[in-house]
Amino acid sequence: MNAYRSLIAAGALLPQVLFSQLRSDADVLYEMRNQVRYLSSDRLEGREAGTPGERLAVDYIAAKFGNVGLMPYGDSATYIQAFHFQAEPVLGEANSLQLGREKLVSGTDYSVLPFSANGVVRGKVLRVSYGIQAPELDRDDYAGLDPKGRIVAISVSSPDGIHPHSKFLAFHDLRIRAEKAKELGATGVVFYNDDPAAESPTNGLSSKVKDCGIPVIFLQGDRYEELLVTNNPVVMDVVIQREERTAYNVVGMLDFGKQDIVVIGAHLDHLGWGDEGSLHRGEKAIHNGADDNASGIAVMLALAEDLANMEHIRASNYLFIAFSGEEKGLYGSNHWTKHPTLPIARLNYMINLDMVGRLDSNNTIGVNGVGTSPAWAEVDHTQVENLKAKTTTSGIGPSDHTSFYLQGVPAIHFFTGSHADYHKPSDDEEKIDYNGMLRITRYIESLIGSLNDDGKLAFTKTEDVNTENTPRFKVTLGVVPDYLYDGRGMRIDGITEGRPAAEAGLKVGDVVVKLGAIEVTDMMAYMKGLSQFEKGDTAPVKVLRDGKELETNVTF
């Protein structure tokens, strides 16, 4: 970097002073190929948020922003905005369990439940049947027993079994029973399954689950009668490694001194060696993510360089953001929109580029979110490079435009479609269609040009919220949960008009803590709560609003 360039990087000079010529198509293609090759090379190990590979991508993009002469809009005078997230928890090596004289093997003989706390506990077994204390149902499994300092053994079933019409539905959740045991002074819990009709808990740990305060395990198999005899000594050591990590967005602006700002974004992260989102089975392998989403970053960089030189479309400033943590749940865009580095009211609209590298022979470009503003009708009239737009309306989708839509910003997502390599190690550079990416770049430039004189676009809410419409549920609340929220309960990030939550008067920011009889401790419990209802059911819902409890009824 020469001295002149560092002046630009520091935002001291406007870019158009230095660059006035539009690049040739060949130059753009050459640059895009280099960028995708680097970002999807094994050296970056799949760019998982919170890893050194992500950091290489971040530094590379920040350097490109500097070359174009963008004004730094990250933390203080840098392009980089740091944020924190909970990494996927992993079981430590030290986990151990001894029941009586028997040493048991983690993963085979027993599993650590996701809401278990860490710690070593020593004590004696106390059998408390289902571990339910419910005076309103005339049931007390602790009657005449003192669980203080004991390790309680609890059946995962219930007094009337596990089915949707059980009178003890509110207690089916094992976490609720573990919390009760803790409240009564127990130091640990061992669950077991003595009911062929009851499902055994799965052992997947999750960053979205909070711990319940004491170690909790599930004893697999049918040796519970022999091993969980009251007064049998127990030593339990649970080690779940829960780690907070740091990831980075990259933010820079083409500043033409305008009030309105157009955001152009793309996520920089991918799945590393294959985290939760991987569809790969078999030996671990680097997920290079050439289409997902090195392609989007390359088109974003091409737009930055071009827009710096397009003097006829300067009614707005252009803010470029490379988001991290998209694959883990839109973390980076969620963070930026909640901690924006400039007033969010200045945003005109947002264009998201996620997976734009597989246009191939298909002349159709997917454009999602056109319901977020009437102005997007323009998309249908934009005929450039022989591309046809295939549109969907919802502002809610599985990518970063969603975070902007939820803040009331018109937002669309460009997408060349899914494919057999999606979220697999085979999403590689040689399958990228660079000519297609160039055509999409030109298409977007033309679209931005045609919106140049329209002033600030009107925002409209869209109808369908599809994130929770998984087939497991017969009903939905019509809300978008905040996946970054890590307090107790489920925080609402978005609400769809006309759906149950809106009809019940729930608001964005409310934290749902109880749904029907189910305590909503986290996302997992929320989904369990939903699965209890049928269409037409009415249930009480309890939320926290500005720290105060509020109860109302919701009709599904």
Which residues in this chain contact Zn ion in the complex, by CB under 5 A?
292
At 127, list the tokens. Answer: 């059998």
Query: Residue 383 is encoded by which pair of tokens?
Result: 């005929």
Strand pairing category for 110-112 and 139-140: unpaired
Q: How far is the CB of 482 from Zn ion (least distance, A)?
A: 20
DSSP-derived letter for residue 214 is: S
CA 514 – CA 533 distance, rounded (Å)? 14
Phi and psi of 129, rounded to 5°?
Answer: 35, -105
* 220 vs 399 by CB, closer to Zn ion: 399
- Running DSSP on this structure, what letter comes out for residue 173? S
The amino acid that residue 34 corresponds to is N
Nearer to Zn ion, 275 or 292 (CB): 292
Among 20, 24, 19, 23, smallest CA distance to 4 is for 19
> What's the min distance (Å) between Cβ of 404 and Zn ion?
18
Longest dimension (CA), the chain: 86
DSSP secondary structure letter of residue 118: P
Please give the single-letter amino acid code of residue 170: A
Kindly state the smallest distance separating residue 425's Cβ from Zn ion, in Å: 13
Cβ 247 to Zn ion, closest distance in Å?
15
Nearest approach, Cβ of residue 299 and Zn ion (Å): 16
- Residue 305 or 327 with smaller CB distance to Zn ion: 327
Output the smallest distance, CB 423 to Zn ion, in A. 6
- Minimum Å gap between C-beta 165 and Zn ion is 40
C-beta closer to Zn ion: residue 292 or 522: 292
**Two structure tokens written together for 142:** 């602790």
Q: Which tokens sit at 112?
A: 């650590």
Other beta carbons within 10 angstroms of residue 528's beta carbon come to 16
Which residue, 47 or 210, is less far from Zn ion as judged by CB?
Answer: 47
Q: Report in angstroms how near the CB of residue 357 gets to Zn ion at its nearest.
A: 12
- For residue 392, the minimal CB distance to Zn ion (Å) is 18
The torsion angles phi and psi of 75, rounded to 5 degrees, stand at -70, 135
Three-class secondary structure of residue 161 per DSSP: coil
Q: Which is nearer to Zn ion, 173 or 292 (CB)?
A: 292
Nearer residue to Zn ion within complex by CB, 40 or 158: 40
Of the candidates 256, 270, 393, 370, the residue with the CA atom closest to the CA atom of residue 326: 270
205: nearest Cα among 47, 87, 46, 109: 87
For Zn ion, give the closer residue by CB, 292 or 400.
292
Phi, psi of 245 (to 5 degrees): -120, 165
Residue among 215 and 329 whose Cβ is closer to Zn ion: 329
Q: Is the CA virtual torsion 490, 329, 371, 418 positive or negative?
A: negative
> Minimal distance in Å, beta carbon 292 to Zn ion?
4
- Look at residues 54, 441, 433, 435 and name the one whose alpha carbon lies nearest to residue 248: 54
Residue closer to Zn ion by CB (options 79, 323) is 323
> How many CB atoms are closer than 10 A to CB 143?
8
Please identify, using beta-carbon distances, which residue of 326 and 510 lies nearer to Zn ion. 326
Report CA-CA distances (Å) from 526 to 18, 199, 271: 55, 18, 26
Q: Strand 151-155 relative to strand 216-219: parallel, antiparallel, unpaired? A: unpaired
Closest residue to bound Zn ion by CB: 292
In angstroms, what is the minimal distance from the CB of 427 to Zn ion?
A: 9
- For the chain, what's the residue count? 556
